[in-house]
Amino acid sequence: MVRKNPEFTTDRLIARELTESDIPQMFHLHSNPEVMKYIHAIEETIDETRLTFARMMKYHDKKEGMGLWSVFLKESGAYIGWVILKPLDNTSDIEIGYRFLPEFWGNGYATEISHRVCRYGFQVLNLDKIVGITHPENVSSQNVLKKLGLNFIKISRYYGIEVLFFEMINPYLAKQSL
């Protein structure tokens, strides 16, 4: 199936749709215990990552414009992780998510590319809101969500664990109704 989601660029980053050629880099990301600390067990084989890839590709089919983008440094072309916009499990909400290699943490990359993806979600897909969830101990992820403009709403349960639930109402819709 040919995908048609846009490529995103920022001053420092390029994000393009996930492809099969990204599986080895994705395995490197998903097999890192630091990355997976608050998510789930590491993927121990590339075959596990292939299964994850197949599952993630289905997000493209669930709702037009949704999916996962691999993120690269613009200057060097280095793979640093991914960003996702997808339906939140068993809800009508749309979730922003991100996962980056530890050597790229603390540089604002997650905020930078996620901001661009949220803008796409609001302006192009006309989403009413975007939500984010994070493990209660994952302060760094909480900080990214707050920098994006998402507000803490409640403690909830998704994907079998207790999480902090954040959301942002589409700021562009509010401006249009004035």
pLDDT tens for each residue of 112-149: 999 999 999 999 999 999 999 999 999 999 999 999 99
Domain for residue 144, yes or no?
A: yes
Judge whether 147 lies within some domain: yes
Higher pLDDT, 2 or 69: 69
- Token pair 């990204």 in the structure block, residue: 22
Q: How many domains does the chain have?
A: 1
User: Phi then psi for 77, rounded to 5 degrees?
Assistant: 80, 5
In a domain, 72, yes or no: yes
Query: Cβ-count burial of 20 within 10 angstroms (0-12 exposed, 13-18 middle, 19+ buried)?
Result: exposed
In a domain, 152, yes or no: yes
The CATH number linked to 106 is 3.40.630.30
Residue 94 within any structural domain of the chain: yes
Mean pLDDT of the residues in the chain: 92
Assigned domain for 32 exists: yes
Query: What region does 159 belong to: left with phi over 0, alpha with psi -120 to 50, or beta?
Result: left
Domain span at residue 18 reads: 8-176
Give a yes or no: residue 120 inside a domain: yes
Model confidence, pTM: 0.92
Average pLDDT over residues 19-44: 94
Residue 164 lies in a domain: yes
d(C-alpha 1, C-alpha 58), whole Å: 11
Q: What is the pLDDT of residue 2?
A: 46
Angle ∠(60,53,30) on CA atoms, nearest 5: 125
